[in-house]
Chains A and B, each alone.
Chain A
């Protein structure tokens, strides 16, 4: 099976082409996924900034009830899995889930460790470093981001509650969005790429097979039939035509066979001529 001309021509091409296309598709997929994720994090950061801005006045006036309502109504939006604000000590002060109020966040978990890995907590991180992906208790895939709430002149000099001037970060807003739509887009992309790879494989193998069959295998088979007929004694068939090299080969064989046939006829004639005087003499 592997010794045939078709397999020797098709296997290397199909293997190298399919392998290379798969490698390129995987790298492309990885790059697109990273782009999608970056966009999602950017949107989430923007949403977190919006929440921080909209709660700013209530924080300044220490209007906790309004703040609860804002957190509740934003947290109830479709696609938002959690929304919480915790203070510098890691105690959850406001949350869309009332059950987790006043609980302390573990600083070694994802989302906190990025800032708290060193002896002094980091004050500023890139948006991608603030993002984390995990599966929550409801078994939903979540992309969460922690946005620090920074101190400013209004906060440190406010009348209602005082924050010292040197304190850079007052607390953190943690928001988690469901990645269901992102995951479904990525799944659709994956399926399209698989279909693309299969199509490339079918096209390459099918195309090469068809071309080989039409231009090489069929003429070679015709040549084999012709040679077999000639060696069987039949000179009636014409040699296969169409492909230059095979036609030349057929022509050469045809001429050789004709010469051989002519020589054999001549030999028979000579033998007959030789045997006639003997009969007459006998």
Chain B
């Protein structure tokens, strides 16, 4: 769907312009293949970033200086761990439903970056409350599931689109 929109935007086939030349068609297809490959690569990079952040969370952000009393007073009382856990369940559920919805529309765009932000926020909330060690695994598994599903969705949609683009490219070359 996105590709079709992009195609319409880049090459409106008006009678004045006529049919684009095979060379420009080839370039356009190669550009689209490049875009799709980039989306697959993005998903891998964001996944790696999540693993890196999880690694820092696994060691309880030891490299952070301890939160001073002044900062704690400024930030206020921490939410209860139960409340954070409920928020995590609601977030994981809605994120999975959204990804399954994107899967349904066949979108090829990677949208996992926002999830990295949310998951990091959960790590930080648990860290601030002082129960990160006990609650590391739920956030990690939630992240793995959400980003795994998003990566699978992007990989699946992009691979299919790349295969079709390559077929078109082969027919243009003939």
Contacts and interface: CB of A to CB of B under 8 A. Distances in A.
Interface string A13-24: 001101110111
Contacts of B142: 19, 23
Interface string B16-55: 0000000000000000000000000000000000000000
Q: Determine the interface band of chain B, counting residues with CB < 8 A from chain A.
A: 20 to 34
Contact of B100 (A8, A12, A31): A12
Contacts of B135: 27, 30
Interface stretch (B71-79, B81-89, B109-117): B81-89
A27 B134 CA distance: 10
A2 B146 CA distance: 19
Nearest to A28: B85
Q: Determine the interface band of chain A, counting residues with CB < 8 A from chain B.
A: 10 to 19
B129 interface: no
A16 B100 contact: yes
A11 interface: yes
Main secondary structure of the interface of A (DSSP, over half): helix
Interface string B133-163: 0110110011011101100110010000000
A207 B142 CA distance: 23
Contacts of B156: 2, 8
Contacts, number: 55
Nearest to B153: A12
Contact of A30 (B138, B141, B149): B138
A19 B138 contact: no
A26 interface: yes
B103 interface: yes
Contacts of A19: 92, 96, 141-142, 144-146, 148-149
Contacts of A18: 145
Nearest to B137: A26
Contacts of A23: 88-89, 92, 138, 141-142, 145
A31 B148 CA distance: 26
B99 to A, nearest CB: 7
Nearest to A24: B89
Interface string A254-273: 00000000000000000000
A20 B91 CA distance: 11
Nearest to B136: A26
A9 to B, nearest CB: 11
Nearest to B163: A3
B149 A15 contact: yes
A18 B142 CA distance: 10
Q: Considering residues A2, A11, A18, A19, which has the most beta carbons from chain B within 10 angstroms of its beta carbon? A: A19
B2 interface: no
Interface in A22-38: 22-24, 26-27, 30-31
Contact of A15 (B88, B138, B145): B145
Nearest to B85: A27
A16 B99 contact: yes
A30 B103 CA distance: 32
Given A19-B141, A19-B145, A12 B85 contact: no
B150 to A, nearest CB: 10
B152 A20 contact: no
B89 A16 contact: no
A30 B88 contact: no
Given A15-B145, A16-B100, 12 more contacts: A11-B152, A12-B153, A15-B149, A16-B96, A19-B149, A20-B92, A22-B145, A23-B92, A26-B141, A27-B135, A30-B135, A31-B85
Which 9 A-B residue pairings sit nearest by Cβ, starting from the closest?
A19-B145, A26-B138, A16-B96, A27-B85, A23-B142, A22-B141, A27-B138, A23-B138, A23-B141
23 contacts: A8-B156, A11-B152, A12-B100, A12-B103, A12-B152, A15-B149, A16-B96, A16-B100, A18-B145, A19-B92, A19-B96, A19-B144, A19-B145, A20-B93, A22-B141, A23-B142, A23-B145, A26-B138, A27-B85, A27-B88, A27-B89, A27-B138, A30-B138
Interface of A: 2, 8, 11-12, 15-16, 18-20, 22-24, 26-27, 30-31
